[in-house]
């Protein structure tokens, strides 16, 4: 029997510390080894005993969480989950923590309905278990070959009247924010239309999409209900909402929908992939990237059975080899590739 995952909670709110401790302690695979009201107290605790996972607030007295994260990752790297409020103004700062080595983002649990607390517990415990399995390392970006895309302005989405003939559907979870950055930055301006589910809390998907839009040759935006899937554009599922691919004649579009957790997630990769199998079939390309659990594995199998090329990220380049591994075991992955080769494989499959 494996020993329980030891967690250190660092947050200046006593209510948050207590609520989080109670939610985590309800899982027999997790033990809260301690709490700290600020990074200085946390540093003292880490000297005595290094936790398996640390949950870290962003805004705290004496030292902010981002600064503390940078110190930890440069001196004694451990899996860190950033715990943040839903404030829009803090989303960009929180996303920066992922670039500095944090493995995931969760929103602060709060007292609410029984259903809300149940979902908070599942999200929190799953994030801790994923972080405990994570490979703490930096994913190096793929160097794009210099081309005219380097100096040309992006094409306006409104100018692209033709829909894509092929649609790339991508799913990712823990470690996926950096994996998606590498993947999307390698895409040229005429890349096939892409629809993406990344497990991420509400509000943060807007900031995530905006940040990618600034660094990629393609357009990247948070999906809105009815958005058309176009060449040179990637649509990212909004946090806390499922995203489905639909078709009307030659036009592919997306539907943003509420609903229960599927495979313990909302948005769920399985929901996107299943809709892709139904409405795009062999005209889709399915990609399943790094992440904990099995979300997307069954959906990738359905895409393959519908005639779509399917790709799973390999173990060596995954932060957590969970979702791709489950898909491979099901026989859902037509190809298993390292992260740096996936963009080229998708472009090849869409020719």
Q: Does residue 144 form part of some domain?
A: no
Please list the active-site residues: 173, 199, 295
Angle, CA 136 vertex, CA 195 and CA 173 arms, to 5° = 20
**Does residue 71 sit in the same domain as residue 215?**
no
Beta bridge partners of 240: none
**Does residue 226 sit in the same domain as residue 322?**
yes
**Does residue 338 sit in the same domain as residue 213?**
yes
C-alpha 102 chain-centroid distance? 12
Q: Does residue 138 form part of some domain?
A: no
User: For residue 106, is it left (φ>0), alpha (ψ between -120 and 50) or beta?
Assistant: beta
Q: Does residue 226 form part of some domain?
A: yes
Q: Which pLDDT belongs to residue 76?
A: 85
For the residues of 110-172, what is the DSSP string, one character each? -S--HHHHHHHHHHHHHHHHHHHH----PPPPPPPPP-GGGTSPPPPGGG--SBPSSEEEEEE
Q: Does residue 336 form part of some domain?
A: yes
**Does residue 117 sit in the same domain as residue 163?**
no
Q: Does residue 169 form part of some domain?
A: yes
**Does residue 66 sit in the same domain as residue 180?**
no
For residue 115, the domain's CATH number is 3.40.50.2300
Q: Which of 98, 133, 168 is the last residue of a domain?
A: 133
Q: Cα(106)–Cα(7) distance, rounded to whole angstroms? A: 15
**Does residue 107 sit in the same domain as residue 202?**
no
Q: Which pLDDT belongs to residue 318?
A: 96
Beta bridge partners of 10: 36, 56
**Does residue 187 sit in the same domain as residue 111?**
no
Rg (CA), the chain: 20
**Does residue 209 sit in the same domain as residue 313?**
yes
Return averaged pLDDT per consecutive 10 residues of the chain, 351 residues in all: 94 90 95 95 93 93 90 90 72 84 85 69 93 75 51 53 79 96 96 97 91 95 97 96 94 95 95 97 97 97 98 97 98 98 97 85
Per the structure, the count of domains in the chain is 2
**Does residue 215 sit in the same domain as residue 336?**
yes
**Does residue 109 sit in the same domain as residue 225?**
no
Residue 272's H or E segment, with its range, is helix 269-279
Q: Cα(222)–Cα(215) distance, rounded to whole angstroms? A: 15
**Does residue 226 sit in the same domain as residue 123?**
no
Residue-number span of the structural domain to which 108 is assigned: 5-133
**Does residue 215 sit in the same domain as residue 129?**
no
Q: Which residues of 131-165 are buried (b: 16+ CB within 10 A; e: fewer)?
A: bbbbbeeebeebeeeeeebeeeeebeeeebeebbe
For residue 196, the domain's CATH number is 3.40.50.180
- Which of 142, 76, 118, 44 has the alpha carbon at shortest distance from 266? 118
Contacts of 124 (CB under 8 A, 6+ apart): 20, 23, 24, 106, 109
Q: Does residue 143 form part of some domain?
A: no
User: How crowded is the C-beta side of 82, counted as CA atoms within 13 Å?
Assistant: 33
């Amino acid at each position: 029997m494996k020993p329980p995952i030891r967690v250190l909670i660092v947050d200046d709110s006593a209510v948050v510390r207590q609520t989080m401790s109670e939610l985590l302690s309800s899982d027999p695979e997790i033990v809260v080894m301690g709490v700290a009201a600020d990074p200085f107290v946390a540093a003292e605790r880490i000297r005595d005993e290094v936790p398996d996972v640390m949950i870290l607030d962003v805004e705290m007295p004496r030292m902010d969480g981002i600064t503390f994260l940078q110190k930890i990752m440069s001196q004694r790297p451990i899996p860190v989950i950033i715990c943040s409020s839903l404030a829009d103004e803090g989303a960009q700062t929180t996303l920066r923590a992922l670039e500095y080595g944090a493995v995931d983002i969760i929103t602060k649990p709060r007292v609410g309905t029984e259903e809300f607390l149940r979902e908070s517990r599942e999200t929190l415990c799953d994030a801790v278990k994923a972080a405990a399995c994570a490979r703490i390392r930096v994913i190096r970006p793929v160097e794009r070959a210099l081309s005219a895309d380097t100096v040309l302005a992006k094409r306006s989405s409104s100018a692209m009247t033709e829909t894509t003939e092929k649609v790339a559907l991508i799913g990712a979870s823990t470690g996926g924010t950096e994996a998606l950055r590498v993947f999307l930055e390698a895409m040229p301006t005429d890349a096939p239309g892409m629809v993406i589910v990344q497990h991420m809390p509400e509000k943060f998907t807007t900031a995530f999409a905006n940040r990618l839009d600034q660094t990629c040759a393609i357009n990247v935006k948070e999906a809105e209900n009815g958005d058309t899937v176009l060449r040179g554009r990637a649509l990212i599922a909004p946090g806390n909402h499922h995203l489905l691919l639909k078709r009307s004649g030659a036009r592919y579009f997306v539907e943003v929908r509420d609903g229960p957790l599927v495979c313990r997630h909302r948005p769920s990769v399985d929901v996107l992939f299943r809709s892709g199998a139904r409405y795009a079939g062999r005209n889709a390309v399915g990609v399943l990237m790094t992440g904990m659990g099995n979300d997307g594995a069954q959906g990738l199998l359905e895409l393959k059975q519908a005639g779509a090329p399917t790709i799973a990220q390999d173990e060596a380049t995954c932060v957590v080899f969970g979702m791709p591994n489950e898909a491979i075991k099901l026989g859902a992955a037509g190809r298993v590739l390292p992260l740096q080769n996936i963009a080229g494989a998708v472009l090849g499959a869409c020719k």
